[in-house]
Structures are given as C-alpha cells and as structure tokens.
A and B are shown apart, each in its own frame.
Chain A
C-alpha cells in the first residue's frame, strides 16, 4: 500500500528515498513469492492452475502504488502480485494457494480467486474479461454514493477481444464512472501472440471508439507506470472520465505451469529479460546512490525470508473443515436460514429450521451411497486425520 508519509531525500527523477526502497522491496517480494509458488507447485503443494506474474512486477507495483487505501482494485487470475502489492499478507496468499483455511479466500478460490475486502482488493477472476463489468459496477456504487473512490481494473491483452470489453467501456463512458481500465499487455493471450489475436495491436487505442481515451506506459518501468496510472486515476477521480492504460510488459514464465512455451523463442524471452523490471529499477537506485548493491541484497534477503515464513504458515494452516463445505453458498437471513433450506434433497428439513438435524433417513441414504445425504461419518474421520497430520 502506498505510504504517502514516506520521508527522505529525493534524487532527481526518483521518488523520495524511502519510497524507492519500498517500491523495489515490494517488487522483490512479488518475484520471490512467485518463484517459490512455482516450486511449491512442482512439489504438488499447490493444485490446479498456477499463473505467475514474473516479469510484470513493475506494471503491478507502479499501478497499485497510484491508489489511495480507499480505492478499489480488481485483477485477473494472474493476481498474486496484485494482492501482495495491495497489502494482503503473503501468508494468506500462500495459504490460499495451498487450499488452506487461513487462505485469503478461505481455501475456496485458490490461486485464481484471491480476495481481500479489507484492503479493497476485490478479487482475482478466472473468466477472461469477466471482471470488467464487475469493476464498472463497483465504480457505479462509488459514484452512486457520492464517494470519490476509484476502481482500478486490470486485465490482460486477451480480454480486449471479449464482448465485455466493448460493453463495459461504453457504459463506463456513458455514465461517467470513476474507473481506470488497465490492460497488462504481456504480449500473449495464453499461447496466442498479440498480433495473432488482435487486429489492433496498439491496445491503448482499442477503447477510443467507445469514448474511453487510452494511453500507454512502459510496463517494465515502475516509475513510468506509476506516473501514467496516477494521472489516469486523477482523471477518473476528479473529471469522472474513465481511462484506459496499456502497460506494455512481458511475462517471463509460461502462461501457467502447464505451458511448454512452444509459441515463442528462448531468444525472445532473453531479449525481454534484459529489461527485467527489478534489475532495471535496482540499477537506477544504485546509480543514484539511493542504495548500494549490499542494500539491494539485504532487501532481497528480507523478501526471501518473508516468503519462507509464508510457506511455513501455509504448511501449518489446516485444510478447511469438511463440515464447512456448504458455508458461504448463501447469505443467511430471513429467507435462507441455512444451506439446508435451499438443498431439498435431504428429507425432513424445513424452511426456518435453526439447526440442521439430519433425520435417520438421510443417514440411511448416506449409508446406501447417496453422495449428498447429510453428514457422512467417513468424511468426518478423514477430516480429523487431516487435522492431526497438520497439527
């Protein structure tokens, strides 16, 4: 989270020294976190898909640092970095990747669906382009209530081909919503290169016809990203004009861990790696005398330690209690007293019942193999073993 009170001397062209250190440390933390997540995936501690943002750290940190605490952020399924940049504890992020109870989505979302309401990080989303309408809705709520909080909505270059892109741009412009759309152009929609998936490759132009002006920033340069996004956020907040920012960047790793990367050459990746956003900014700081190599090394070491801690935490955190399987499907209240109110398969339950008291017939059905019928003793036992193991 941006700390506006940061103090210290200021070198030409750079933010205050404390801020510089914060920025580079945050990028390092994201990098180390992602590297370790990759390792944990290889060890099968993490399941499903895992999308790493290595290479995109400047775009993430530069942009999120342009937000106030009360502003909102939404992202895609490649969003560990966004959550961490927003201030979500790496412990909670790693625990979510591990599918553990202390994960920032309680183990229900996984890598693609991180969420931290308190820090106004309103989610990673697994549907390409699916988060754009939601973001406009949050901006609408901000506007509706006369608040001046801005929504920063990030998505990939692939999302600009979805119908929701055009629909949302039109509505955001039509209703003057305080939202900044940020396309993290990492050159590929999964394995399809930009020029093979988009007729218009200058993505900053792609919303102009809908009334949303665009601009580009160098997504490998944290300061350039910050400058451009900060001004876009200002326009959205003060002038109520939605903006599009294209951050031109590159992901150094595959789309997900299950990506043989046959769609690009090693040479191309090497070319981009020369512009590594962390190394570049680190060098800038050393050249300006803000930090020396040792100072950088120390920050990096701290990042490694934080990630070590996150892995320990995630390992230690228990898996969610199996009895919690149905928690949070519904909000409970007048209509829905408990999940059983809405699941009619188990006989004998009543709308308005306080506690679910599965009758004998539910147990009989369970014994007979019905997958749904009430609490199953075998599941309870497995859960207990699990807790003992991790305890």
Chain B
C-alpha cells in the first residue's frame, strides 16, 4: 500500500470524486490560487478550472448557504472553511438550513453538501482558530459528522461524504495534515458508522476522537509496557452515525471505558458517549466511565499553556489506570 500524508489523501479524494462526477465542485476561502490554507486543494484549480474550484470572499455564512442552495437543486458542493471556529459564522446556515431543509420541506429536497474544516489545537493559533466543536455538530439531527484520524480514513470518508445525499460536517485535525499513513490504492469510499478497532485488548476500552485516537494509541502502548494493561482502542471515525455496537461490545468485554477527546468537557462528545455507555452497558461496568477532555478554557496562545489545555498521552494513561482503582 502506498504511503501518503493526510492532506494528500484528502486531495486525492477530492480529485477522484471531481473526476467521477461533474456535479461535484469546491468552494472556499483561498482554496484555488492559494491552494488552501493547509494545501489540501493543491493543484485542483489548475486541473479543474475556476468553474469547479471557486475562491470565495470571506463570507462564511453565505458560502455555506450557497452550498445548501446549490445542493438543494442537485449539485454536490464541497465547502472548505478555514477553521472550525470560522464555521460558527455559518452556524445559522448549517443548523437552520443544511440540517433542516429536507425535514421542514417534507422530504422534497435533499442536501448533499460537505463542509470541510480543520479543528484542534497544537499550532499556537490561539482562542479563535483552534477549538474542537465536534460536539456542537454531533448535537444536530440532519447532519452527519466525520472525524478521520488517519490518511486512509481521511480519503475513504471524504469520498463517502461527497457521495452521500446528506449534509456532512467533515472535521480534519490541523496537526494531522502532515501525518503519513498507508492508503489503499484505488480505495473506495469508507463506511460511515463503522468504528475501527485500532488495538485489541481485554482490560479497558479507550475511545479516541479525532487526533485523540492517535494520542490514545501511544497511551495504550505505555499501558501495556509499563502497567501490563491491555487496552482496546476504538476510533469511531464518524460521530453521526456512531458505531455504538462496537463500543458496547468492547465495554462488555473489558468492563471499563475511557473516552478521550479534545473538546470542552461540558456537553462534550465524551459526556454524550458516557451517557450512552451507562445506558447500554451499565451492568457490565466495573468502574465509572471516565473522560479525558480539553481544559475548560478558550484555547490559549502561549505554547506551554496551549499544551496544558489539550490532552496528552499521560492523561489517557492516568485515566485508564484510574478505572482500576477500587471504587
């Protein structure tokens, strides 16, 4: 299998889907001439021209709204927003229209729109460029939410997102763009709602969201080598739909669960997942479900503060160990 970077995998998915379907086009700030703030759209303007790779003004709400409008009449727009924070300017169009038009108009239209956006901390971009809002979008019926953590998933899930008839919030992690990984040649779309078991183990289930799947993988190795604890690591890959079956099956085996995410603790992905786990596997739990989350603060700029504001390997290790304490 060829190796490629996360950003290259995304680029390949876009190229392949544009080649396959004339109704697929791209819109976003600086995606054309500039080739994307994170170079995901590199070369696409040259290959497909201005009709299909459209640089937009800085008008997030309107870009997304135009995506919704064009999707309602049959196009398949892929809108890039420069960061997940900027998507807040488009929250109206995302929640009130993208997620709702099909329902509120009685099924007369669908909205095959993909909104790509990088999120997450690590590049010292401070309190308006590096948050993790997966939970906000997970909250909304009508949306699908993908959070790929590997190049292979980035490609497979983006292809699936573009082909799907529902609006998809596609959250890429800013610090993963340069990560390399194997990507199947001529790989097709991945399936939403199918978690990946990254590592098998019998002692504790760790669910890692987006980059936290990568962080948790390191934590799992430490747990094994230093504490003789074999963690089962699950990367859900998509949060809507969410593969609860795989998670519940794992918890039934390990009787312990830790959820690692970068977002804020209150009303977070982990809060929701912990509720689901206790509803569906309460009798199997030997310990409270524990969460590892970002700090409950706006993301600070200063490097040591930023590093302190999102979870690292040792936090996941500590949480996993805590599930073995006598309750």
Residues of A within 8 A of B (CB): 72, 103-109, 113, 115-117, 122-123, 125-127, 130, 132-142, 144, 163-164, 167-168, 170-171, 174-175, 327-331, 333-336, 341-345, 347, 350-351, 365
Residues of B close to A334: CB separation below 8 A: 160, 163-164, 189, 191
Selected from A140, A327, A330, the residue in CB contact (under 8 A) with B142 is: A330
Residues of A close to B108: CB separation below 8 A: 105, 115-117
Query: With an 8 A cutoff between CB atoms, is B242 at the interface?
Result: yes
Residues of B close to A125: CB separation below 8 A: 97
Selected from B75, B141, B193, the residue in CB contact (under 8 A) with A341 is: B193
Q: Are A344 and B72 in contact (CB under 8 A)?
A: no
Residues of B within 8 A of A (CB): 25, 51, 54, 56-57, 59, 61-75, 77, 92-93, 96-97, 101-110, 112, 141-142, 144, 160, 163-166, 189, 191-194, 240-245, 248, 276, 279-280
Q: How far is the CB of B81 from chain A (nearest CB, A)?
A: 14
Selected from A133, A144, A345, the residue in CB contact (under 8 A) with B276 is: A345
Q: Are A335 and B66 in contact (CB under 8 A)?
A: no
Q: Nearest chain-B residue to A341 (Cβ)?
A: B241
Residues of A close to B106: CB separation below 8 A: 103-109, 115, 328
Q: Are A115 and B62 in contact (CB under 8 A)?
A: no
Q: Are A171 and B241 in contact (CB under 8 A)?
A: no
Known: A109-B104, A113-B104, A344-B242. A329 touches B142 (CB 8 A): yes
* CA of A108 to CA of B166, assembled, Å: 18
Q: Are A133 and B241 in contact (CB under 8 A)?
A: no
Q: How far is the CB of B280 from chain A (nearest CB, A)?
A: 4
Q: Are A171 and B62 in contact (CB under 8 A)?
A: yes
* CA of A106 to CA of B62, assembled, Å: 28
* B56, B62, B97, B193: most-surrounded residue (chain A CB, <10 A): B62
Q: Nearest chain-B residue to A169 (Cβ)?
A: B62
Q: How far is the CB of A391 from chain B (nearest CB, A)?
A: 22
Q: Are B69 and A133 in contact (CB under 8 A)?
A: yes
Residues of A close to B103: CB separation below 8 A: 108, 328-329
* CA of A350 to CA of B194, assembled, Å: 10
Q: Are A123 and B105 in contact (CB under 8 A)?
A: yes
Q: Nearest chain-A residue to B90 (Cβ)?
A: A133
Q: Nearest chain-B residue to A138 (Cβ)?
A: B69
Q: Are A164 and B241 in contact (CB under 8 A)?
A: no
**What would be 29 A-B contacts, judged by CB atoms less than 8 Å apart?**
A106-B106, A109-B106, A116-B108, A123-B101, A127-B96, A130-B93, A132-B62, A132-B65, A133-B65, A133-B66, A136-B69, A137-B67, A138-B69, A139-B69, A141-B70, A163-B61, A168-B66, A170-B57, A328-B102, A329-B103, A333-B165, A334-B164, A341-B193, A342-B141, A342-B144, A342-B193, A342-B240, A347-B244, A351-B193
Selected from A113, A138, A141, A333, the residue in CB contact (under 8 A) with B105 is: A113
Selected from B54, B59, B102, B109, the residue in CB contact (under 8 A) with A329 is: B102
Q: Are B57 and A167 in contact (CB under 8 A)?
A: yes
What 9 pairs between A and B have smallest CB-CB spacing?
A: A137-B69, A133-B65, A106-B106, A137-B66, A331-B165, A134-B69, A351-B193, A115-B105, A328-B107
Known: A133-B66, A134-B97, A329-B103. A351 touches B191 (CB 8 A): yes
Residues of A close to B57: CB separation below 8 A: 167, 170-171, 174
* CA of A8 to CA of B73, assembled, Å: 37
Selected from A122, A130, A170, A343, the residue in CB contact (under 8 A) with B65 is: A130
* CA of A230 to CA of B124, assembled, Å: 54
Q: How far is the CB of B230 from chain A (nearest CB, A)?
A: 26
Q: Are B104 and A108 in contact (CB under 8 A)?
A: yes
* CA of A167 to CA of B68, assembled, Å: 15
Q: Are A137 and B192 in contact (CB under 8 A)?
A: no
Residues of B close to A343: CB separation below 8 A: 141
Q: Are A105 and B104 in contact (CB under 8 A)?
A: yes
* CA of A167 to CA of B62, assembled, Å: 6
Q: Are A336 and B93 in contact (CB under 8 A)?
A: no
Q: Are A106 and B107 in contact (CB under 8 A)?
A: yes
Known: A127-B96, A133-B93, A137-B71. A336 touches B104 (CB 8 A): no
Residues of A close to B25: CB separation below 8 A: 144
Selected from A109, A164, A171, the residue in CB contact (under 8 A) with B56 is: A171
Selected from A107, A117, A174, A333, the residue in CB contact (under 8 A) with B164 is: A333
* CA of A249 to CA of B66, assembled, Å: 29
* CA of A329 to CA of B245, assembled, Å: 22
Q: Are A168 and B62 in contact (CB under 8 A)?
A: yes
Q: How far is the CB of B129 from chain A (nearest CB, A)?
A: 21
Residues of B close to A329: CB separation below 8 A: 102-103, 141-142
Q: Are B68 and A134 in contact (CB under 8 A)?
A: yes
Q: Are A336 and B241 in contact (CB under 8 A)?
A: yes
Known: A132-B65, A170-B57, A345-B276. A137 touches B166 (CB 8 A): no
Residues of A close to B77: CB separation below 8 A: 137
Q: How far is the CB of B248 from chain A (nearest CB, A)?
A: 7
Q: Are B279 and A144 in contact (CB under 8 A)?
A: no
Residues of A close to B64: CB separation below 8 A: 133
Q: How far is the CB of B109 from chain A (nearest CB, A)?
A: 6
